[in-house]
Amino acid sequence: MKFIISPAQSLEGELTVAGDKSVSHRSIILGSLANGKTVVREILEGEDVLATIAAFRAMGVPIKRTGDKNYEIEGVGMDGLSQPGAAMDMGNSGTAFRLLTGLLSGQKWSSTLVGDESLTIRPMGRIITPLSMMGAKIESNDGCPPLHMTPVEKLMGRHYDMPIASAQVKSSLLFAGMYASGITSVSEPGPSRDHTERMLRGFGYDVQTQGSIISLEGGGELTSCEIDVPADLSSATFFILAGLIVPDSEIVLAKVGVNPSRNGVLSVLAKMGADIQPTNENIVGGEPVADLVVRSSSLKGCEICGDEVALAIDEIPAISVAAACAQGVTKITGAQELRVKESDRISSVVNGLRNLGVKVEELADGMIIEGGRLKGGKVDSYGDHRIAMSFSVAGAVASGNVEVENCANVATSFPDFRELANRIGLSIDVSE
Strand 180-181 to 208-210 pairing:
unpaired
Which one from 48, 194, 314, 384 is the annotated catalytic residue?
314
Burial of 261 (0-12, 13-18, 19+ CB in 10 A): middle
Active site (annotated) includes residue 314: yes
pLDDT recorded at residue 164: 87
Same CATH fold assignment for domains 2-19+230-431 and 21-228: yes
| pLDDT of 287 over the 90 cut | no
Under CATH, what is the fold of the domain 21-228? Answer: UDP-n-acetylglucosamine1-carboxyvinyl-transferase; Chain (3.65.10)
Which residues, in sequence order, are bridge partners of residue 312? none
- The pLDDT assigned to 411 comes to 79
> What residues does each domain of the chain span?
2-19+230-431, 21-228
Q: How confident is the model at residue 46 (pLDDT cuts 50, 70, 90)?
A: confident
Rounded Cα gap, residues 121 and 116, in angstroms: 9
pLDDT tens per residue across span 292-332: 999 999 999 999 998 899 889 999 999 999 999 999 999 99
Q: Is the pLDDT of residue 420 over 90?
A: yes
- According to the model, what pLDDT value does residue 192 have? 87
Q: Return the CATH number of the domain spanning residue range 2-19+230-431.
A: 3.65.10.10
The type of residue at 295 is R
Starting at the edge strand found earlier in the chain, the sheet holding 427-431 runs 377-380, 402-405, 2-6, 427-431
Look at residue 77 in the predicted model and tell me its pLDDT: 98
In the prediction, which pLDDT does 165 show? 86
Q: What is the pLDDT of residues 158-167, one digit of tens each?
A: 999 999 888 9
Q: Provide mean pLDDT across the span 262-271.
A: 96
Residue 369 pLDDT > 80: yes
